[in-house]
Structure 1
Amino acid sequence: MNTGISDLVTQRLAAVRFADLPASTVTAAKQVLLDACGVMLGASGLSDEVRPFAALAAATGSGPCAVLGTGQLASAPFAALANGAMAHALDYEDAFDLAPGHPNASLVPALIALAQAEGPVDGARFLTALAIGCDLSCRMGLALRRQMEDGGWYPPPILAGFGAAAGSAHLLGLGAEQLRDALSLTLCQVTMPGEIKHSPATVIRAVREAFPAQAAVLSAMLAREGVSGFEAPLEGPGGFYALYAGGQFDPADLSDGLGERFWIERLTFKPWPSCRGTHPFIELALRLRGEHGFSPDAITAIDVRIDEVQRMLTEPAARKNAPQVAIDAKFSIPFCTALALRHGAVDLDGFSAQRLADPAILELAARVRPEVRPQSGWLRGSGGAMTVHLADGRQLCAEVDNALGCPARPLDEAALVRKFVDCAGRARRPLSGAAARQLAARILTLEDCPDVGALFGDAPR
């Protein structure tokens, strides 16, 4: 019944040109690139977890591609590996709330690596590849009619990997059949088990996008070299939807408006460097603290009402109340809520080893009491409610249906530039404020850039 959807998708994607992109899509793609590059630069200096990936990239020999923020050069596959590790390490990259995931966290590292290896690649070509890659990842998630988690998988890096492969193939100028081959080769490489959520000491969750970013580059390059794939990598009897969703998907979500409307316009840009599911509670904690001015020491309990998606951010309680590693703290509603209430901010300094061991934060985190009780108006994984109980008997309540940064309540461009400047200033080789603002301005006018790869070489400091 679904025969032919792989061909339909790849034919339409391969045909998209820059002139086909609405102006709003072009603007969104530039903002995605700005945000993603800032987050990777910040991770190069702030995240110890990414250092082995950068070291491995350097050890494999030099090449034309930058490991962002480090001054190191590598081949395209290994630069994508290292930059992919950086893309999610701070948990600060954009998100697609409607089918929860991060469609650009492996796509942007892959495209930058290929732009530098295959250059010069102009801005129009780069933005087109970014728009179609992001769109496919979002559509593949929206088309699911059975949750991938039901089969023990962890969806975000899997879905992102297919979008990254499509974008990479488009950047290389591949036709529909070779784009389909690239998706097939991605199916042979990209996976992520749900076990990533269960081990309290692993940091794989932080660096997970390294693997699909590298796989996307390899898939597109091998497809260009003539490696044939499958006839139906998406809908086949052993294809993506059969393997990951028991064959349960709606092809209309893949095809309707494909090549005309782009989901890149409906992303969330994060105001706080933590899992999107924690954001409602950060926002509510900061709101109640600001409106009522109570002392954190006066709090006796904090009730948070969550949905099923957010359950993983509260369980098991002992681990979420006292996370051992930064990425686990970023996936903890109790810790992020306590951090916001205790310090009045959740920023890039909030997940240091000192904060993870701070008894004042941990004591407050232990007072968070979650209850799964979603409201009908909440967007799945992005809404929530909170009641703060105080020693004087007051109960302070607040609720949000979709946390700040979403398309309905977006960060404006000035806020995105400030975020970029802050992150770039924390790179292993930090950019000055002036240099960061100059780079931001060039990214935000990327359609006029003759060589995108050159932007991420030796930037002025």
Structure 2
Amino acid sequence: MTEPAEPTAVQRLAAFAVRCRDEGVPGAVAADVSGRILDVIGNALAGRAEGGPGTAVLEAVRGWAGTPQAGIFGEAGRLPSPSAALVNGTLAHALDFDDTHLPSVLHPSAAVVPAALAAAEETGAGGAALTGAVAAGIEVCNRLGMASYLPEIRNSLFFERGQHATSICGTLGAATAAGLLYGLDAEGVASAIGVAASMGAGVIEANRTGGTVKRVHCGWAAHAGVAAATLARAGVTGPPTVLEGRFGFFRAWLDGRYDAGALLSGLGERWEVTRTVYKPYPSNHFTHPAIDCALALRARGLDPADVAEIELGMPAPTLRTVAEPRPEKIRPRTPYHAKFSGPFTVATALLGGGGLGVYLDDFTDATLADGARLALAAKVGCREDERASEIFPVAFAAVLRVRTRGGARLEHRVDSSRGGPAHPLSRAELLTKFGLNAARALAGEQATALSSAVAGISDAPDVGGLLALTRASA
């Protein structure tokens, strides 16, 4: 078959990715990548302490056996690289505490970083190669997500269809990163992406009504990405028009509706990696501006016992995830399900609050059974706020209006949630978040050593020691 004369979309992405590995990335991008790795490891350690799907996935993959190639966060022993990526990616996304790219609204790092770490450990790659691979993988993932964002609907078409953009685009980003660390050339990386396009999947109904499978999505994306790169290394090839072709990625997922400029323009000059924002609260990102509003009203002296009624105004596309169906949102079934509830998280911010304002200890079986919290959540009504809808999804906005028993009316509005584009987390806040998460699994001095190792990752001769530092000493 004759290949097109002009480079195809996947060929251009692959050439860019190889430059990231072979020529390095700008200093600001390298520094940003170290923060991504730190955040993923901290989230994964806290996720491991939580148990749940991460433990279940580890039990499952141990039964698969295979050649020990890569380590697991917080765990002795090694697994085949695809299996290690599956476990670590699941842990990284298990608490819904991982970063978010806007306006694509996907979580790139939890899929790409575990895949890159597994491939780097297997091959003995150094920190510079890992940094370039993570940067390229996240950039490819984010740009695929950007290409799916349609301004006329103010949303990603993936999400309009109930598809999880993270697990779909994250698979291709993970394959990019793993392919680079396996030493593939541009043609090989293009094949890894092309193979991965047949592997990504994920639906988001669990966001609405519960279930634990969504927490495995990033792990499966990491697993599939490493598997795709392994197959490409062995000689399996992907179609050169896998993205834009008649039966390619964009046609299959999005009916051919995508933004080619967002996908390809300014590669290596305009970095979507650095526009990925960190989460200060361990809940669905759509709930964050509401939490900000509730915390602000609480700081102004609002007494939750004095609340008669609360109105939460949000972007219209987010209501389906965090406000509907209402019976499920005012009385969530599980602590994880509660993280996807606007009413419950507002009540939590008014009554509880730890860490950076709301923390993991606010989502437990005990808080789920707290009568005061459930009664307050039942007083929260959710509706569209036009201003928030106009801003979405470039930033997450909300307004909270409270009527007290005495008839007073209070209001607070945010146009960009904390951690978002207008209010990014500082380095100190990111380290605070990491410290809180790591403390659930490690002693303080070990967590400090781990954060220092991640900060200097670009200069590390290999990354194997990084995984060792995630394991609690005897």
| TM-score normalised by structure 2 residue count | 0.92
User: C-alpha offsets along residues 273-292 of structure 1, whole Å, 9 cap, x if unaligned?
Assistant: 0111100011110011011x
Structure-1 residue corresponding to 2:456: 445
Q: 2:112 aligns with which of 104, 107, 112?
A: 107
Q: Where do 5+ consecutive residues of structure 1 fail to align?
A: none
Structure-2 residue corresponding to 1:217: 226
Question: Aligned-residue CA RMSD in angstroms?
Answer: 1.9
Q: 1:67 aligns with which of 45, 56, 72?
A: 72
Q: Secondary structure at the match of 2:363?
A: coil
Q: Secondary structure at the match of 1:309?
A: helix
* Residues 330 and 343, structure 2, Cα contact 8 Å, conserved in 1: yes
1:252 aligns to 2:257 (yes or no): no
Q: 1:257 and 1:294 mapped to 2: Cα distance?
A: 48
Structure-2 residue corresponding to 1:378: 391
Which runs of structure 2 are paired with 1:196-211 in the superposition (5 Å)? 196-198=206-208, 200-211=209-220
Q: Secondary structure at the match of 1:301?
A: strand
Structure-2 residue corresponding to 1:78: 83
Which deviates more, 437-446 or 165-174?
A: 165-174
Which deviates more, 47-56 or 385-394?
A: 47-56
CA 1:6/1:458 → structure 2, altered by over 3 Å: closer, same or farther? closer
Q: 1:353 aligns with which of 347, 365, 368?
A: 365
Q: 1:228 aligns with which of 227, 233, 237?
A: 237
Q: State the shift of 1:458 in Å.
A: 5.1
* Residues 33 and 108, structure 1, Cα contact 8 Å, conserved in 2: yes
Q: 2:418 and 2:469 mapped to 1: Cα distance?
A: 34
Structure-2 residue corresponding to 1:322: 331
Q: State the shift of 1:60 in Å.
A: 3.0
Structure-1 residue corresponding to 2:153: none
* Residues 25 and 264, structure 1, Cα contact 8 Å, conserved in 2: yes
* Residues 10 and 193, structure 2, Cα contact 8 Å, conserved in 1: no
Structure-1 residue corresponding to 2:317: 309
Which deviates more, 253-262 or 317-326?
A: 253-262
Letter paired with 2:165:
P
Q: State the shift of 1:406 in Å.
A: 1.9
Q: Where do 5+ consecutive residues of structure 2 fail to align?
A: 151-155
Q: 1:150 and 1:15 mapped to 2: Cα distance?
A: 34
Q: Secondary structure at the match of 2:401?
A: strand
User: C-alpha offsets along residues 234-265 of structure 1, whole Å, 9 cap, x if unaligned?
Assistant: 11111111011110112111111112332111
Q: 1:71 and 1:335 mapped to 2: Cα distance?
A: 37
Q: Secondary structure at the match of 2:101?
A: coil
* Residues 97 and 382, structure 1, Cα contact 8 Å, conserved in 2: no
1:413 aligns to 2:421 (yes or no): no
Structure-2 residue corresponding to 1:57: 61
Structure-2 residue corresponding to 1:399: 413
Q: Secondary structure at the match of 1:132?
A: helix
Which runs of structure 2 are paired with 1:26-175 in the superposition (5 Å)? 26-61=30-65, 63-119=68-124, 121-144=125-148, 145=150, 147-175=157-185
Q: State the shift of 1:19 in Å.
A: 4.3
* Residues 21 and 180, structure 2, Cα contact 8 Å, conserved in 1: no
Which deviates more, 20-29 or 277-286?
A: 20-29
User: C-alpha offsets along residues 308-349 of structure 1, whole Å, 9 cap, x if unaligned?
Assistant: 231121000000111112221111111111111111441011
Q: 1:48 and 1:177 mapped to 2: Cα distance?
A: 40
* Residues 111 and 130, structure 1, Cα contact 8 Å, conserved in 2: yes
Q: Secondary structure at the match of 2:399?
A: strand
* Residues 158 and 192, structure 1, Cα contact 8 Å, conserved in 2: yes
CA 1:114/1:161 → structure 2, altered by over 3 Å: closer, same or farther? same
1:23 aligns to 2:31 (yes or no): no
Q: 2:80 and 2:89 mapped to 1: Cα distance?
A: 14
Structure-2 residue corresponding to 1:237: 246
* Residues 180 and 233, structure 1, Cα contact 8 Å, conserved in 2: no
* Residues 235 and 241, structure 1, Cα contact 8 Å, conserved in 2: yes
Q: Secondary structure at the match of 2:308?
A: strand
Identical-pair percentage: 31
Q: 2:135 and 2:210 mapped to 1: Cα distance?
A: 36
* Residues 53 and 216, structure 2, Cα contact 8 Å, conserved in 1: yes
* Residues 135 and 264, structure 1, Cα contact 8 Å, conserved in 2: yes
CA 1:334/1:324 → structure 2, altered by over 3 Å: closer, same or farther? same
Q: 1:266 aligns with which of 271, 275, 288?
A: 275
Q: 2:360 and 2:210 mapped to 1: Cα distance?
A: 21
1:4 aligns to 2:15 (yes or no): no
Q: 1:68 and 1:98 mapped to 2: Cα distance?
A: 30
Q: 1:341 aligns with which of 328, 337, 350?
A: 350
